Structure 1
Amino acid sequence: MRMMYLSYPAEAKDTVARILDEWDMLDWAIMDTTDKSADARVVLPESDSQSLVDTLQNRLSSYKNWQLVIVPVEACIGPETEETIEDQTGDEKEKEKSPEIALREEIYQDVADGTKINSNFLILTLLSAIVAALGMNANSVAVVVGAMVIAPLLGPLLAFSFAASIGDAELMLKASRTALAGLALGVGTAFLIGFIIDVNLSSQELIDRTHVGLDSVVLALASGGAAALSIARGSSTTLVGVMVAVALLPPSVAFAVYLGAGELALSARAGVLLATNIICVNIASMLVFAIRGVRPRTWLEKRSAKRSRQINLAVWSVLLVGVVGLIVLVLG
């Protein structure tokens, strides 16, 4: 369930009342009406939330000074509420419901936070690169897993995929800039470490990042899809497990450490694994967003989003074919 607080100008009172009358809600009320403004409170199931938000945006677009605040509801208790929930449960069995996904605006807010290049992002990337480089050189699994969890590089990739799915060029640019900055910082730090220290070429943690096969492609696709699905459902806490499965930092660090040590062949193999992860995460996450119905509100935006999604999927698919060919014909 979700609760929505709507603040709007008084002249839109009748419009809002008609909109709310059209929906089967657990509860709604018009509150704090004055000569200039009014407030409304709405409680409704998650499955109806996106449709109501889009309708409110469409109908209130001609008005100024309106605002919609959305908060999750843990529980709604009361005899009338229980009866309403039972009635709606029966209705849901008779009609098809939309997929269980977070609001488009909620997803946008979540992924947009991962595109900010601030001190926290830079420090976490720097520290995770140091931890990963030293951990892999010492062949310490626990240390490497810790570096995977704290590395913030998966967020910008998911933000890019989401932006491509809704046709938001500005968000795509911000996500690309953040991802490149993070990778550059991580690779640069690991390169210096590989150049300075004696690299342990027998470390299994380093060697593992040079093994690239078709199973790496399947794992990256599955993990990228799981990451996008967790974002689309609003359960981003599950991303910790996904980060461990398809972390971008360890292969990038292995690539840079080997490069710093002058091991060009091993560095190239780690670079292929990194490219595989990046490509597969983008393809899988865009497909999941499309299947789950994540798309813009207006017709023009939907047309732009469809074109953006097609172009991006085509480009990433060509790159994937190239990587698979490299794996099978050269590295296999």
Structure 2
Amino acid sequence: MGTFFSSRPERTFKPKKKVTMAVRLLEVIIPRGKHVILEPIFKKQSIIQHWIEEDKPGANFVVKILTRAEDTGSITDAITKLLSKTENFRIIIQAVEATVPPVEAPEEPPAKIGRLSVSREELYNDVVQAAKPTYVFAGLMIISTLIAAFGFLKDSTAIIIGSMVIAPLLAPNVALSLGSVLADFTLIRQGLSTQFSAVLLVFFLSALFGAATNIDPNLSNIHQRIYADYTDIIVAFLSGTAGILSFTAGSSTALIGVMVSISLLPPLVATGLLTGSGYFIYATGSFLLFMANLASLNLAGILTFIFQGVRPMTWWKAKKARAYSMKAMLLWFILIIILLAAMWLRNSFLVT
């Protein structure tokens, strides 16, 4: 394999302090001789190092760029624009576990608040993979529903919390929010499809469980879902914000997923249990709570993505996406207001 280093000297950072940072390796596969188009990219201060490789004589060139993780998105967009008239190019983004010597944090002003820690492409790929309705997803939903149902039957908060650890309800909501921000209707359909399948599975399974056990609506954990108020909606909104932040930070989403499941799984399981046991009026309370929480999670998700600057690459797509996300936010907000009013009226009716 031949390796050609750029004649331009490697740009190095003068670190203010010995703090390492997350980096990415971009591999740009381009036709032979087209690497000169990328010269403007190499002038960027965020480029740590770059070099050019050739697999064999006459083959494509592979331009490799080492950069900070938070700059991956902007560099990828810039490369795509420069190569817009070039055929047969591909950009591969790889996470770098470590380098020797380590890449140290540069002496420069702090990054803008809300800046993404991963590129849009990495985020999109993670969401698409996580939101697929696989057998594993269905299996986890069945197990978490049964555990939650037994938790309600025993009126055990600990068991109900255990079910939330298993339920994979974060990814479909992230897919729906990201699709709304990018105006990506394929991703929206995938998020809706996975979410709807999960809701039907949880409801019918818990309804069968309720029909077999005849759940008591006076149990404390059931009662909390029947007579919910605005504080539950606030918790759901904050959970949605935390869920999106965990995805965009590229960090573990296990514990954050528990918070999202708190807002969705218990009220939905309670709805199924009460419906199966014949307490239809009580079931409306937990169902209204579930719907309000779902709307709050998605509203929070869209707002968080917008705050972090997630948008399509081209300006015309960004304009379309901005208009669509505003409509989606308005729809979720109106739905929350309607559901809160319905919850208040219903609670007042039951109390009197």
TM-score normalized by structure 1?
A: 0.90
- Matching of residue 7 in structure 1 with residue 24 in structure 2: no
- Following superposition, the deviation at residue 329 of structure 1 comes to 3.9
Which secondary structure does the structure 1 equivalent of 2:63 belong to?
Answer: strand
Q: Which residue of 2 aligns with 1:209?
A: 225
> Residues of 1 paired with 2:149 and 2:191: CA distance?
25
Greater displacement, 181-190 / 203-212: 203-212
Task: Please give the alpha-carbon distance, in whole angstroms, between the structure 2 residues aligned to 1:97 and 1:134.
Answer: 44
Match of 1:324 in 2: 340
Q: Secondary structure at the match of 1:256?
A: helix
Contact 2:169 2:260 in 1 (8 A): no
How far 1:260 sits from its partner (Å)? 0.7
The 8 Å contact of residues 24 and 66 in structure 2, kept in 1 or not, is answered as yes
Residues 1:43 and 2:66 are matched in the alignment: yes
Equivalent position SS for 1:91: coil
Structure 2, unpaired ranges of 5+: 1-22
1:1-332 matches, within 5 Å, as: 1-32=23-54, 34-78=57-101, 85=104, 89-92=106-109, 99-237=115-253, 238-246=255-263, 248-331=264-347
Q: Deviations over 1:152-205 (max 9, x none)?
A: 223211110110011101110111111111100110111111111232334322
Using the TM superposition, give the Cα deviation of residue 293 of structure 1 relative to its aligned residue in structure 2, in angstroms: 0.3
Distance 1:132 1:97 in 2: 38
Q: 1:98 Cα shift? A: 7.2
Superposed displacement of residue 245, structure 1: 4.0
> Does the CA contact (< 8 Å) of 2:33 and 2:61 recur in 1?
no
- 1:115, 1:54 → 2: CA distance? 25
Quick check: 1:138–1:200 contact (8 Å CA) kept in 2?
Answer: no
CA separation of 1:251 and 1:70: change in aligned 2, threshold 3 A: same
Distance 1:166 1:284, change over 3 A: same
- In the alignment, residue 307 of structure 2 is paired with which amino acid? I
Provide the C-alpha distance between the structure 2 equivalents of 1:211 and 1:18, rounded to a whole number of angstroms: 61
| Offset from partner CA, 1:115-143 (integer Å, 9 cap, x none) | 31221122221222122112211112232
Q: Which secondary structure does the structure 2 equivalent of 1:5 belong to?
A: strand
Aligned residues of 2:167 and 2:261 also touching (Cα < 8 A): no
Any gaps of 5 or more consecutive residues in structure 1?
none
Tell me, yes or no, if the aligned pair for 1:153 and 1:183 is still in contact at 8 Å.
Answer: no
User: How many percent of aligned residue pairs carry the same amino acid?
Assistant: 25
Aligned counterparts of 2:262 and 2:210: Cα–Cα separation in 1:
24
Measured at CA, do residues 275 and 304 of structure 1 come closer, stay the same or move farther in structure 2, by a change above 3 Å? same
The structure-2 alpha-carbon separation of the partners of 1:121 and 1:154, relative to structure 1 and needing over 3 Å to count, comes to same
Residue deviations 1:24-69 (CA, integer Å, cap 9, x gap):
4221111226423111221111232111000111122322332222
Letter matched to residue 69 of structure 1? I
The Cα of 1:211 is off from its aligned counterpart by 2.8
Structure 1 residues 227 and 98: alpha-carbon distance in aligned structure 2, compared to 1, 3 A threshold: closer
Question: Does structure 1 retain, via aligned residues, the 8 Å contact 2:70–2:119?
Answer: no
d(CA) in 1 for partners of 2:221 and 2:34? 62
Are the counterparts in 2 of residues 137 and 205 from structure 1 also a CA contact under 8 Å?
A: no
Q: Figure out how many residues of one structure are paired with residues of the other and give that number.
A: 324
SS, match of residue 41 in structure 1:
strand
Which residue is equivalent to 2:13? none
Assess if the C-alpha contact under 8 Å between 2:179 and 2:185 holds in 1.
Answer: yes
- CA apart distance, 1:241: 4.0
Task: Provide the C-alpha distance between the structure 1 equivalents of 2:114 and 2:265, rounded to a whole number of angstroms.
Answer: 36
Structure having the larger proportion of residues in helix: 1
**Contact 1:25–1:44 (CA under 8 A) maintained in structure 2:** yes
| C-alpha displacement of 1:304 | 1.4
**CA distance in structure 2 between the aligned counterparts of 1:209 and 1:162, rounded to whole angstroms:** 29
CA–CA distance in structure 1, aligned partners of residues 157 and 204 of structure 2: 22
Contact persistence 1:101–1:292 (CA under 8 A): no
Q: Indicate the SS of the match to 1:301.
A: helix
